[in-house]
Chains A and B, each alone.
Chain A
Amino acid sequence: MAVEARGVGLAGRAGRIGTSAARIDGLPKALGSFAYGSDLWEEGMLYGATVRSPHPSARIRSIDVAPALALPGVRRVLTAADLPARRRYGLEYEDQPVLAEGIVRYAGEPVAVLAADDPEQARAAVAAVRVEYEPLPAVTDMEAALRPDAPAVTEVGNVMRHVRIVHGDPDARADVWVEGYYEVGMQDQAPLGPEAGLAIPAPDGGVDLHVSTQWLHSDRRQIAPCVGLPEEKVRLHCAGVGGAFGAREDVSMHIHACLLALSLGRPVKMVYGREESFFGHVHRHPARIWARTGARRDGTLVSARVRLLLESGAYTSSSSVVLANACTFAAGPYEVPNALIEGTSVYTNNPPTGAMRGFGSVQVCFAHEAQMDKLAAALGMDPLELRLRNAVHTGSVLPTGQTIRGSAPGREVLERCAALPMPPDIPPTDRDRLTLPGGAGNVGRGEHIRRGVGLAFGYKNVAYSYGFDDSCEAAVRLERGIDGPVATIHTAAIEVGQGLHTVLAQIARTELGVDEVVVEQPDTEIGSGGSTSASRQTVMAGGAVATACATVRERLLARVVEALGPDAARGPLRLEDGRVFDGDVPLGGIDHFLDTPVEAREVFHHRPTTPLDERGQGENPHVMFIFGAMRAVVEVDEELGLARVVQLAGVQDVGKALNPRGVEGQIEGGAAQGLGLALLEEIQLRDGRIANASFTDYLLPTILDMPPVVSAVVEDPEPGVPYGAKGVGEGSTIVATAAIAAALRDATGRELNRVPVTPDELAGLAPARTSGGPAPIPDVPGPRAVLDYR
């Protein structure tokens, strides 16, 4: 039973850094014994459910919970009137109501929560709660939201944040200009595990929440004030996470389950179904981007002028930082001496958006790479050549004024990518028809197939930026086990399926010379691990574990010296293969010195960063960068407008691959998610309502859509971080969409300036997207960088 797995760590026995050590969670997941959040169970628990608004914008006239309470098994219904303490929460701003108060701002917003004896009763009760709404005009278009006469979505209007980056002379003259307008639809993270958690009231008046999340401490910071408890009485424990991709950065059912559990004095479990999951988390920001790129005749970039809008939806979530990222990366990984980048994130009555893998850089990469291809065409230059000529490197100055001081092997990434083997070009008429566009649909025998090749190059920051004090704490204990020394790692850093805990075990094995490592389930008994996002945990949790291991080693070696006397040691003492060595001379098993365990606790911080100023400039807005390149080969049935990606070839700059197979997995998974955005994945909104909240109509790539991925890594160590390793989680997602779009353009000769690309567009039945020109700059008081993460 899943409950038994709560709080139990997973152990692995072999593999130092640099090896493809087996995943410590691999076997349990493959065998089905791994406990995910949705598997949680506790004696006497109730099931929670949420009443959500069907309207994108409405006034709540009245709520009648009596009919629900009259149903069998229904124990409690809570509305805004029942909230015991703070009524709003949020990742950056506390702007999201725990339960809607008077007004609903998006379809799907929680209005009431309830608990019943079983899920069926809870569902029936949801339908029985009578909410009387007075629909209000809804703002469901981000440009419309900026018009002066648009109804205000929030108390502060419709401009969430405006960022302006002015660099060099934006009016600088160029020989050649290319212009483009681009749109990106709303992608869903679609983690296979839905939002899930179990809140258990504790005898001390506090609550224990077991929950699938990306950042326990950020959740707790938001939960505690809303349930009216001090933080130490709100204890969070990570429940097995079935994928995240940004969808679990925000609070979903956390506060609701805790409120119900505390008010009833009974455990309450909440699990969203797939449909509810579409309403239960934020999505990727839809974007509109207007770009003008200027270059000298020899291909040297002169200027980038970018106007971009990101749609924040009804609440803020992480929109202010996603916007800052989109703006700082809008000109691409290129040296551009002059730039004017103006970005606005806009409130609308559409569902809220926030973190998703790539975090603002996916949208701008789609635009800047299309611009680079247009420029190459205008100059009659090879697209690879143009990119190589302008790629940033260590020492380059970015549009924010930041000088890249760490590793930046962008050119090598590009060159390696271009050199990866091309797929075989078997004539379409001679192939298994499943491999043709249309796949299993049997739509062709190889007629009207056109092949296209596209390239994309992108970059992104690792870890948190703009002056946030980003850290992770780790505790490491080394003790005598049944067959040798065992190291136990405790952090609050979440494994979301990407392999972090395996890498942490590899680090401990490397640093302590032991085989057996146990990684405990993350919880709030230790200091914050920071978010498992921004490609940061290999660096941050890895850094914390490496540092704590170094301290453990020092302490252990001090014991060794003490036991053997100061003169015994001739060479440097080291730990390897479970033994202590003096130079090359083994002194005995590590066990031998472990009559009592050795422990250490360390907090790892990365180099400090700085905020953006009024002109979007900063000494050090980002701490380090990762670069990725991808080449896509596609085939399009030009009559039917159906596409199949034939191959994705990606190269990623990783500093050092701590687990090469894990890195490969990240490259492939990220490429699949980018493919989804290029061709399939979009939350379709109709008047603010999600029209495809299911996997029947929100189409994720299947194995027939996802081609083989050829990948390679560039290992150029980043100074100042353990092993020189950078993050690896986002690189391929950033570039895959742009590369596939470029390949589709190559195959069809069409503009394709919006993703996901539709069959209508590929077949020439629908024209490219047009715009009446860049959105006006909003009249707001300057580009305040309003970061309040704590």
Chain B
Amino acid sequence: MEVFRPSSLYEALEVRAAHPQAIPIAGGTDLMVELNFGRRRPEAILDVSRLPELQVIGREDGRVTLGAGVTYARIIRELADHPALAQAARTVGSPQIRNRGTVGGNLGTASPAGDSLPVLAVYDAEVVAASTAGTRRIPWREFLVGPKRNALAPDELIVAVEWRQPDGPGSFSKVGTRNAMVIAIAGVSLQLDTAARRIRIALGSVGPTILRAPEAEAFGAGILDESGAWADPRAEVPADALGRFGELAAAAARPIDDIRGTAAYRRHACAVLARRALTWALDDRRLAAG
């Protein structure tokens, strides 16, 4: 097996163009499992873990750039102002996995159980992909094309993800049978966009890919309107409306029964987590408003 270890993005993209069969490796926490189980035997590996261009965390004009090679451990430390993303990073694996695993790898694997993905969905992020031909931005709704499939071309690398800094509280929650180090049975991320008076919610592990819940989003924005909570964080939103929000979110799930959990439980968990997430977001705004 050949191993390429480029030291710049440019060099890496040239390797990618010349050797499309070379599989990129970042933290290796997904890829090495595949190799160890003999599910994959690539002829060549392209190590992207030392590319400085992928290590960037940038903020400019309200836009945030997160390099594909940034690890979960760094996200927890350096993106505390993004509670949803930091919480998602904290739910990933164990300290060892968080020290190695990257968001780029999560995007590369494109698993419906990838914990950073529901958060990137509610940030409505763009994936920045590059090849020797140039750079393109892939809108979130076009990036995940199916279970473990993304829109990356064979000669491209993921360089970063970008989004507009959210204006409002957000969270990520994940249910698993075990209290840590567990693959999600269901994951929910919610983000309030106060300026646009919108709520975005995304579900993980309850469908072939990450799912948004547009009906719930519209309903949620509506009940905040009706109760006046957009304008006045202290305004009460009725409990039954929050419950209804949860149910609508769960209705967007397309879960299956598997060894990790039942479809019925997954749907139920989505309803509970979505309701709690919106409740917390309102609580957090109330608290911030004093």
Interface residues of A (CB under 8 A from B): 123, 275, 437-445, 447, 639-642, 644, 679-680, 684, 686, 691-692, 696-697, 699, 701-705, 758-760, 763, 765-766
CA distance A760 to B184 in the complex (A): 15
Render B94-107 as a binary contact track against A, CB cut-off 8 A, 1 for contact: 10000000000000
Question: Is the Cβ of A702 less than 8 Å from the Cβ of B179?
Answer: yes
- Chain A CB count within 10 A is highest, among B94, B262, B272, for B272
User: Are B180's CB and A440's CB within 8 A?
Assistant: yes
Known interface pairs A123-B38, A442-B173; A705-B268 also in contact (CB < 8 Å):
no
Docked CA distance A122–B127 (Å): 42
A-B contacts, 12 listed (Cβ < 8 Å): A438-B173, A442-B87, A442-B90, A442-B171, A442-B173, A443-B276, A640-B273, A686-B259, A702-B181, A704-B178, A705-B180, A765-B265
With beta carbons under 8 angstroms apart, the residue of A275, A642, A696, A703 that contacts B175 is: A642
A702 & B265 in contact (Cβ 8 Å cutoff): no
C-alpha gap A696/B264 in the complex (Å):
22
Instruction: List chain B residues, Cβ under 8 A from A697.
Output: 183, 259-260
Which of chain B's residues have a CB closer than 8 A to the CB of A642? Answer: 175, 177, 179
Q: B259 and A691: CB pair below 8 A?
A: yes
From 164 to 185 in chain B, residues with beta carbon under 8 angstroms from any chain A beta carbon are 171-185
* Residue in A275, A447, A641 whose CB lies within 8 Å of B265: A641
Chain B nearest Cβ from A477, distance in angstroms: 45
Task: Give chain B residues whose Cβ lies under 8 Å from the Cβ of A702.
Answer: 94, 178-181
Q: Are A701 and B280 in contact (CB under 8 A)?
A: no
Query: B177's contact among A442, A704, A759, by CB below 8 Å, is which?
Result: A759
- CB closest chain-B residue, reference A439: B179
B269 within 8 A of A: yes
**Count of A-B contacts judged by CB separation below 8 Å:** 94
Q: Which residues of B contact A696 (CB under 8 A)?
A: 183
Q: Are A443 and B259 interface neighbours, CB within 8 A?
A: no
Which among A440, A445, A763 has the greatest number of chain B C-beta atoms within 10 A? A440
Residue of B whose beta carbon sits closest to that of A700 = B178
B-side contacts of A442, CB under 8 Å: 87, 90-91, 171-174
Q: Pick the most buried of A442, A684, A699: most chain B CB atoms within 10 A of its CB.
A: A442
Chain B residue numbers with a CB within 8 Å of A759 are 175, 177, 185, 261, 265, 269
Chain A: minimal CB distance from B134 (Å): 38
- If A123-B38, A680-B177, A692-B259 are given as contacts, then 9 extra A-B residue pairs at C-beta distance below 8 Å, sorted by A number, are A441-B179, A442-B91, A442-B172, A445-B276, A642-B177, A697-B260, A702-B179, A702-B180, A765-B268
A656 to B280, CA, bound (A): 54
Task: Name B283's closest neighbour in chain A (CB-CB).
Answer: A445
- The interface residues of chain A lying within 8 Å CB-to-CB of B185 are 759
* Pair A438/B272 contact, Cβ less than 8 Å: no
Residues of A within 8 A of B276 (CB): 443-445, 447
A699-B259 in contact given A441-B173, A447-B276 (Cβ < 8 Å): no
**A73 CA to B25 CA, complexed, in Å:** 30
Q: Is the CB of B268 within 8 A of A440?
A: no
A438–B183 alpha-carbon span in the complex (Å): 12
A443, A691, A702, A703: which has the most chain B beta carbons within 10 Å? Answer: A443
Chain A residue at minimum C-beta to C-beta distance from B272: A639
6 smallest beta-carbon distances between A and B, as pairs: A439-B179, A704-B179, A704-B180, A440-B180, A441-B174, A702-B180
Interface hits, B222-278 → A, CB 8 Å: 259-262, 264-265, 268-269, 272-273, 276
A445 in contact with B264 given A640-B269, A702-B181, A705-B178 (CB within 8 Å):
no
Distance of A731 Cα from B179 Cα, bound (Å): 26
B260 to chain A, nearest CB (A): 7
Residues from chain A with Cβ under 8 Å of B90 in the complex: 440, 442
Residues of B within 8 A of A640 (CB): 175, 269, 272-273
User: In the complex, how many angstroms separate the beta carbon of B174 from the nearest chain A beta carbon?
Assistant: 4
Which residues of B lie under 8 Å from residue A691 when comparing CB positions?
259
Alpha-carbon distance between A443 and B275 when the two chains are bound, in angstroms = 11
User: B87, B91, B171, B178: which has the most chain A beta carbons within 10 Å?
Assistant: B178
Interface residues of B (CB under 8 A from A): 37-38, 87, 90-91, 94, 171-185, 259-262, 264-265, 268-269, 272-273, 276, 280
> How far does the Cβ of A96 sit from chain B's closest Cβ, in whole Å?
27
Q: Return the contact of A763 from the options B38, B91, B172, B268 (Cβ within 8 A).
A: B268
**In the complex, what residue of chain B is closest to A637 when comparing beta carbons?**
B272
- The smallest beta-carbon distance between A388 and chain B, in angstroms, is 34
Q: A684-B259, A696-B183 are in contact. Are A443 and B178 (CB under 8 A)?
A: no
Q: Which residues of the partner chain A approach B183 to less than 8 Å between Cβ atoms?
A: 696-697
Chain A residues whose C-beta falls within 8 Å of the C-beta of B265 in the assembled complex: 641, 758-760, 763, 765
Q: How far is the CA of A759 from the CA of B174 in the complex (A)?
A: 14
- Chain A minimum-CB-distance residue to B258: A691
Closest residue on chain A to residue B183 by CB atoms: A696
A8 to chain B, nearest CB (A): 31
Which chain A residue shows the least CB distance to B90? A440
Give Cα distance in the complex from A637 to B147, angstroms: 31
Enumerate chain B residues within 8 angstroms of A444, measured Cβ to Cβ.
276
CB-based contact B174/A443 at 8 Å: yes
| A644 to B261 CA separation, bound complex (whole angstroms) | 18
**B38 near A644: Cβ-Cβ < 8 Å:** no
Chain A nearest CB from B97 CB (Å) reads 12
User: Which residues on the B side are within 8 Å of A760 (C-beta)?
Assistant: 261-262, 264-265
Closest A-chain residue to B174, C-beta based? A441
Chain B residues contacting A443 (CB-CB under 8 Å) are 173-175, 273, 276
For the complex formed, measure the closest distance between the CB of A705 and the CB atoms of chain B, giving whole angstroms.
5
Interface hub of A444, A679, A759 (most chain B Cβ within 10 A): A759
Beta-carbon nearest neighbor of A764 in chain B: B268
Instruction: Tell me which of B91, B179, B264 contacts A705 (CB under 8 A).
Output: B179
Tell me, rounded to whole Å, the shortest Cβ–Cβ distance linking A632 to chain B.
Answer: 15
Separation of A763 and B262 alpha carbons in the complex (Å): 13
Contact A644 B272 (CB under 8 A): no
Complex Cα–Cα for A439 and B172 (A): 13
Interchain CA distance A441-B186 in the complex, whole Å: 10
User: A679 contacts which chain B residues (CB < 8 A)?
Assistant: 177
Is A445 touching B280 in the complex (CB atoms < 8 A)? yes
Q: Determine how close the nearest CB of chain A comes to the CB of B183; give it in whole angstroms.
A: 7
Compute how far the CA of A691 lies from the CA of B259 in the bound complex, rounded to whole angstroms. 7
Cβ A438 vs Cβ B259 within 8 A: no
CA distance in complex: A158, B260 (Å): 31
Contacts of B261 in A (CB 8 A): 759-760
**Is A441 touching B176 in the complex (CB atoms < 8 A)?**
yes
A719–B38 Cα distance when bound, in Å, is: 56
B273 partner residues in chain A, CB cutoff 8 A: 443, 640
Bound-state Cα–Cα, A65 to B172, Å: 53
Inter-chain CA distance A696–B179, complex, in Å, is: 14
| Bound complex: CA A692 to CA B177 (Å) | 14
Cβ-closest chain A residue relative to B37: A275
Structural contact, A440 and B179, CB atoms closer than 8 A: yes
A758 to B268 CA separation, bound complex (whole angstroms): 14
List A contacts of B180 (CB < 8 A): 439-440, 702-705
Q: Across the interface, which residues of B come within 8 angstroms of A704, CB to CB?
A: 178-180
* A441-B118 Cα distance, complex, nearest whole Å: 14
Q: Chain A's nearest CB lies how many Å from the CB of B86?
A: 10
Pick from B172, B176, B178: contact of A701, CB under 8 Å = B178
Task: Please measure, in the bound complex, the distance between the C-alpha atom of A245 and the C-alpha atom of B261, giving whole angstroms.
Answer: 28
Interchain CB contact under 8 A, A699 and B177 = yes
How near does chain B come to A138, taking the closest CB pair, in angstroms? 19
| B234, chain A: closest CB distance, angstroms | 19
| Whole-angstrom distance between the Cβ of A773 and the nearest chain B Cβ | 27
Taken together as a complex, chains A and B put the C-alpha atoms of A691 and B174 apart, in Å, by: 23
What's the Cα separation between A439 and B38 when bound, in Å?
Answer: 33
- Chain A residue nearest to B36 in the complex (CB): A273
A765 touches B173 (CB 8 A): no
Q: CB-nearest residue of chain B relative to A443?
A: B173
Shortest A637–chain B CB gap in Å is 9
Given contacts A443-B273, A640-B272, contact A699 B175 (CB under 8 A): no
Q: Which residue of B has the minimal Cβ distance to A686? A: B259
A705 — which chain B residues lie within 8 A by C-beta? Answer: 178-180
| CA distance in complex: A544, B178 (Å) | 43
Chain A residues with CB under 8 A of B87: 442
